[in-house]
Amino acid sequence: MSDLGSRSFCYVTTVGRVTGRPHEIEIWYALRGSTVYLLSGGGRRSDWVRNLLRRPDLTIRIGDRTMQGLGRVVTDSDEDRLARTLVYDKYSPGYAGDLQGWRESSLPIAIDLAGDPTADPTADPAADPA
């Protein structure tokens, strides 16, 4: 599943803070290890961000993989810089407009995935590899 980071979009499903219903968005992302980085152009005003602040457990779908994760606002300055750089560098070469303002003004969000996102979901973890 090494192509997880190369997909154009991911789909994040949060639980509505008012309705309690699933709320799915399509969004640009970058993957580093077991963390997915997103930039919220609407900052903390975005419904999906407000949802994950209330209830950080969520699901994320990339391609045909659906994974569980915990969402959080990035607060560490080094991780903030990393998140902005990863997402910007992934999308700016193929985008006709200027994404620099969006890069700087967006709120960086991290989703820490449960388990290894590159692991084969059909593999039996109890199977002997030998």
Written as tens digits, the pLDDT of the chain (130 aa) is 458 899 999 999 999 999 999 999 999 999 999 999 999 999 999 999 999 999 999 999 999 999 999 999 999 999 999 999 999 999 999 888 889 999 999 999 999 999 777 666 555 444 444 4
> Looking at beta carbons, which pairs linking 7-10 to residues 24 or more positions away fall under 8 Å?
7/62, 7/63, 10/36, 10/38, 10/60, 10/61, 10/62
Q: Rounded CA gap, 103 and 71, in Å?
A: 19
Q: Which CATH number applies to 2-113: 2.30.110.10, 1.10.3720.10, 3.20.20.70, 3.30.43.10? A: 2.30.110.10
What is the C-alpha separation between 67 and 106, in angstroms, rounded? 24
Return the DSSP state at 50.
H
Domain ranges of the chain: 2-113
For residue 115 the two structure tokens come to 């388990």
Three-state DSSP at 86 gives helix
